[in-house]
Amino acid sequence: MAVLLTLLVVAATDAGGSWPSRLGMTAALAPLCGAVGTLAAVRVAAARGELRALAALGAEPGRAVLGALAGGSALGLLGPLVAASGLADLDGLFPRPPAARLWTIEGVGLHEVTLGLHVGAHGDLALGAPSVVASALAAGTTGFTLAALAAAAIAAPAWLSVARASPARRAAVGAAAVALAIAAFQGVAAGRVPPVALVLGPAVLALDGFYARRRP
């Protein structure tokens, strides 16, 4: 339900984008949808007393929520799988500024390369084929993007299922992970940071979840 709702929201708010682009954005949000589903399942089980009953039978907290973790991770992994299949366009995750306008003199007129505009000597306009050349992303960007999405699909459900974490801690760590992810995608798009930075957001969730589970 979360994935379908996300796809509908993306399709309704992207100003008529292509379906591969919509699938790419939905694929990037699929790990978050899986994490939300895991959290909902764990919360329902806790409210019904099922987790307490399993603990009384000797089941460790991690084992008691293993089914919810597996389901959430499986749903989240659909995102990188769809992206790797070639059906999704991931360029929308790397926003880049439009090319600068470049006017050149052609005979007695002017030619704007990126828009394909021709201005004659008497001010008459003609529209030709534009030649917009977008700056290429660094090598390995696609691979690190898929790795980051796969890591998020596994780390986010596990992180949200930690019972010892307080809501304030979850909010702070979640905000830090999201901020790092956004900064990483923007930085890679601008060519300011290497593609390996894309895995920083999921790494924060994984490390915090591991620390919370190990804490007495």
Is residue 58 pLDDT above 80, yes or no?
yes
DSSP 8-state class, residue 124: -
Copy the structure tokens of residue 118.
Answer: 């021709």
The pLDDT confidence band at residue 187, using thresholds 50, 70 and 90, is very high
Is residue 28 pLDDT above 60, yes or no?
yes
Higher pLDDT, 109 or 75: 75
pLDDT of residue 9: 87
Interacting residues of 110 by C-beta distance below 8 A, sequence separation 6+: 103, 104, 118, 119
| Chain CA centroid to CA 198, Å | 10
Q: What percent of the chain has pLDDT over 70?
A: 91
The pLDDT confidence band at residue 10, using thresholds 50, 70 and 90, is confident
The pLDDT confidence band at residue 92, using thresholds 50, 70 and 90, is confident
Interacting residues of 9 by C-beta distance below 8 A, sequence separation 6+: none
Question: Nearest Cα to 201, choosing from 187, 215, 190?
Answer: 187
pLDDT of residue 133: 54
Mapping DSSP onto H, E and C, the string for 77-98 reads HHHHHHHHCCCCCHHHHCCCCC
Is residue 132 pLDDT above 80, yes or no?
no
pLDDT of residue 26: 92
Is residue 173 pLDDT above 80, yes or no?
yes
Domain residue extents for the chain: 2-92+135-214, 100-133
The pLDDT confidence band at residue 51, using thresholds 50, 70 and 90, is confident
pLDDT of residue 135: 61
| Chain CA centroid to CA 26, Å | 8
Residues 137, 72: Cα–Cα separation, whole Å: 31
Q: pTM of the entire structure?
A: 0.77
Copy the structure tokens of residue 95.
Answer: 């926003």
Q: Which residue has the tokens 């890679």?
A: 188
Q: Which residue has the tokens 């919360």?
A: 43
Interacting residues of 199 by C-beta distance below 8 A, sequence separation 6+: 144, 147, 148, 151
φ, ψ for residue 105 (rounded to 5)? Answer: -85, 125
φ, ψ for residue 142 (rounded to 5)? Answer: -60, -45
The answer to whether 178 and 201 have CB atoms below 8 angstroms apart is: yes
Copy the structure tokens of residue 57.
Answer: 């039978």
Write the CA distances from 181 to 5, 39, 93, 185, 198, integer angstroms.
Answer: 22, 21, 11, 6, 6
Question: Nearest Cα to 69, choosing from 153, 169, 11, 189?
Answer: 153
